[in-house]
Chain A
Amino acid sequence: MSDMKYTTDHEWIRVEGDSGVIGITDYAQEQLGDVVFVDLPDVGKNLSKGDEAAVVESVKAAAEVYAPLDGAVLEINEALTDAPGLVNTDPVGGGWFLKLQISDPGQLDGMMDEAGYADYVKGLG
C-alpha cells in the first residue's frame, strides 16, 4: 500500500514524516493536456487548506492547484521551470509541484486513499 492520499480536486500528497509532497494526478494531467508552464509559490509561504498553491498552464487553459492541507512551503520543484512537460509524462514522480510542512496531520484523514481515488475517478465517467 502506498502512503499516497488524494483530493476530490485531483491533487495527490505523498506523506514523508511530517512533510508532504504534492502534485496532480494522472487523471488531472490527462484532462489538462500538454502542460507548458507551472507557476509555483515562494518557498516559505504559508498555505491554508484550499488556498491556491500553484497554477498549471496547458496550451489551452490555466488551472489552479489548491493546497490539500495547511502548511508552509518547504521546497518547490525547480525542474518544472525548464521541463513543465514532466507534469504530463511523470505526474506522480518527477512532475511533483511542492513539498509542504504538514501542520495538522489530522487533515489527512478526510482524504481518499489510492483505491478510494480510483473509484472516485471511475465514477466521473
Chain B
Amino acid sequence: MTGAAEDSTTALAQTPLNALHHALGGKMVPFAGYDMPVQYKAGIMAEHNQVRNSAGLFDVSHMGQARLSADGDAAVALERLVPGDIVGLAPGEMRYTLLLADDGGILDDLIVTRLPQAPETLFLVVNAGCKDADFAHIDTILAGAARLEPLPDRALLALQGPQAAAAMSRLSPDAARLSFMNGADMAVAGVSCFVTRSGYTGEDGFEISVPNSAAEALARQMLDQPEVAPAGLGARDSLRLEAGLCLYGHDIDRSTTPVEGSLRWTIPQRRREAADFPGASIILQQMADGPVRRRVGIRPEGRAPAREGTEIANQAGAVIGAVTSGGYGPTVGGPVAMGYVQRDFGAVDTPLTLMVRGKALPARVARLPFVPQNYYRG
C-alpha cells in the first residue's frame, strides 16, 4: 500500500504552536513550507464533526498577517490591487477580496479588516503559500502610497463551530457580541488580541490574532473549554469544501479570473462602474459575455470521491473540465467536489461524467455550499 504519506526533506518552518501539536499527538505534514498537523488522535472525520457539532481549534499561524497604513485612508491605496469595496468598510468591518494581476488572474485571496482603533489602517490576512509574493507585490505597487508591515510576531488561532461563542465568551466576554465579519481588539484570557468573527468552515467562529509569545498558553486555555477539541488541516479542508469556499492554488489561481471562479459577487457595482482594478477590462468583458468556463459544485452520485485533477466529461464523453477540489464530505455523508466546467454545463443538476481511474462515474452540478452556512449575524 502506498500513497498515504507525504515526504519532505526540506527544512520546514514552525508556528509557535508546534510543540503543542506534537504534545497533542498531531500527525505532522509539510504544508506551505510549515510543519503542520493534518490531524490529531481523533482523526479527520471526528475533528470535522467536532467543528460542525461543537467547536474545534485550528492553528492557522502559517497564514500571513500584515498591517497596511497610508497618509490618509489605506483602503484607497489597496483598492488599486483588489476589486472589492474596501473604502466602504466601516471601522471593525472585514471583507473577503482578491489580489488581481493585470490580466485579471487571481494572485491570492485575502481578508481585509478596517481596524476599529485606527480606521485608516487595514489588517490583512493572506495565504501562507502566497504571503512572501503578496507582500512583495503590495510593497512594489503601493510604494510611496502605503506602508505594509508584516506581523511575523503574531500567531493566528481559529476557534470554529456552533459552540465556539460559548467557549470564547468565558475567555473574553466581548467576543460573543461581535457580528459575523467584524473584528475588535480585546483581551482574551488576559492577553491583548485582535479577534474577528470569521472563519473558513461555514460555521460560526472566531479568528484570534495573538502575540507568538502568548499563543500556546492561550491555545491551551481554549482547549480546556469543554466544547473545544483540536482540529487539523484535514478537517479544515473537508469543512471548507462542504462550505463551498475556495482553496487558493486549487480552486482559484493565477490562471483563473474572479468571473471564472464564480466570485463576481466580490466585485460591487461601484468598482464595476469605475473599472479601476487590475484586469478590469477583461473581467468586465467576461461578466458581459459570460466566461468560457466557471467553477461549480459537483456531487458524485456514487460513493467514490473524485479528487483534484479528475477529468469531467459531458454525456457524449467529451472532456469539458476538471475537478479542482474533491473528497469526502463527512456532514454530507458522501463525496463532494468543486471544479471548472465549460459554458453551458454550469447549471445546477446538469449531468456530468467523472473519469475516476478509467471508470466513468455519474455526477451532477450542485448548488454551493453543500451544507447550510451557520454564521452569526447578531
Number of A-B contacts (CB under 8 A): 71
B357 to A59, Cβ gap below 8 A?
A: no
A28 surroundings in chain B (CB, below 8 A) = 1, 4
Say yes or no: is B327 at the interface (Cβ < 8 Å to chain A): yes
- In the bound assembly, the distance between CA atoms of A63 and B43 in angstroms comes to 17
Question: At the interface, is chain B mostly helix, strand, loop or mixed?
Answer: mixed
A61 to B303, Cβ gap below 8 A?
A: no
A31 surroundings in chain B (CB, below 8 A) = 4-5
B237 surroundings in chain A (CB, below 8 A) = 60
| Residue interface bits B320-341, CB-to-A below 8 A is 1, else 0 | 0000000110100001000000
Q: Please choose the segment from A13-21, A50-58, A115-123 that sits at the chain B interface, where 4 or more of its residues have CB less than 8 A away.
A: A50-58
| Residue interface bits B38-49, CB-to-A below 8 A is 1, else 0 | 110001111010
- In the bound assembly, the distance between CA atoms of A28 and B2 in angstroms comes to 9
Say yes or no: is B234 at the interface (Cβ < 8 Å to chain A): yes
> Residue of A at shortest CB range from B3?
A63
Query: A57-B304, A59-B45 in contact; A32/B238 too (CB < 8 A)?
Result: no
Q: Please choose the segment from A33-41, A69-77, A102-110 that sits at the chain B interface, where 4 or more of its residues have CB less than 8 A away.
A: A33-41
Centre residue among A9, A24, A33, A36 by max chain B CB count within 10 A? A36
B4 to A61, Cβ gap below 8 A?
A: yes
B328 to A64, Cβ gap below 8 A?
A: no
Query: A33-B234, A34-B45, A59-B238 in contact; A64/B2 too (CB < 8 A)?
Result: yes
Say yes or no: is A66 at the interface (Cβ < 8 Å to chain B): yes
Number of A positions contacting B (CB below 8 A): 26
A58 surroundings in chain B (CB, below 8 A) = 4, 44, 328
- In the bound assembly, the distance between CA atoms of A3 and B21 in angstroms comes to 40
Q: How far is the CB of B360 from chain A (nearest CB, A)?
A: 14
Say yes or no: is B307 at the interface (Cβ < 8 Å to chain A): yes
B44 to A33, Cβ gap below 8 A?
A: yes
Number of B positions contacting A (CB below 8 A): 24
A36, A59, A81: the one within 8 Å of B234 (CB): A59
Say yes or no: is B305 at the interface (Cβ < 8 Å to chain A): yes
Q: How far is the CB of B304 from chain A (nearest CB, A)?
A: 5
B1 to A60, Cβ gap below 8 A?
A: no
> Residue of A at shortest CB range from B45?
A34
Query: A57-B304, A60-B38 in contact; A37/B328 too (CB < 8 A)?
Result: yes
- In the bound assembly, the distance between CA atoms of A97 and B357 in angstroms comes to 18
Query: A33-B43, A34-B43, A39-B304 in contact; A57/B1 too (CB < 8 A)?
Result: no
Q: How far is the CB of A114 from chain B (nearest CB, A)?
A: 18
Say yes or no: is A79 at the interface (Cβ < 8 Å to chain B): no
B357 surroundings in chain A (CB, below 8 A) = 39, 55
> Residue of A at shortest CB range from B38?
A60
- In the bound assembly, the distance between CA atoms of A37 and B330 in angstroms comes to 12
Q: How far is the CB of A22 from chain B (nearest CB, A)?
A: 11
A66 surroundings in chain B (CB, below 8 A) = 1-2
A63 to B327, Cβ gap below 8 A?
A: no
> Residue of B at shortest CB range from A34?
B45
- In the bound assembly, the distance between CA atoms of A24 and B4 in angstroms comes to 12
A56, A59, A81: the one within 8 Å of B303 (CB): A81
> Residue of A at shortest CB range from B39?
A33
B2 surroundings in chain A (CB, below 8 A) = 9, 63-64, 66
A33 surroundings in chain B (CB, below 8 A) = 39, 43-45, 234
A9 to B305, Cβ gap below 8 A?
A: no
B1, B43, B307, B335: the one within 8 Å of A65 (CB): B1
B1 surroundings in chain A (CB, below 8 A) = 9-11, 24, 28, 32, 56, 63-66
A34 to B304, Cβ gap below 8 A?
A: no
A9, A59, A84: the one within 8 Å of B327 (CB): A59
B48 surroundings in chain A (CB, below 8 A) = 59
Say yes or no: is A62 at the interface (Cβ < 8 Å to chain B): yes
B3 to A62, Cβ gap below 8 A?
A: yes
A32 surroundings in chain B (CB, below 8 A) = 1, 4
- In the bound assembly, the distance between CA atoms of A39 and B300 in angstroms comes to 15
Chain A to chain B contacts (Cβ below 8 Å), 28 pairs: A10-B1, A28-B1, A32-B1, A33-B39, A33-B43, A33-B44, A33-B234, A34-B44, A34-B46, A36-B335, A37-B303, A37-B305, A37-B328, A55-B357, A58-B4, A58-B44, A58-B328, A59-B44, A59-B48, A59-B234, A60-B44, A60-B327, A61-B4, A63-B2, A64-B2, A64-B3, A81-B303, A84-B303
Enumerate chain B interface residues (CB-CB to A < 8 A): 1-5, 38-39, 43-46, 48, 234, 237-238, 303-305, 307, 327-328, 330, 335, 357
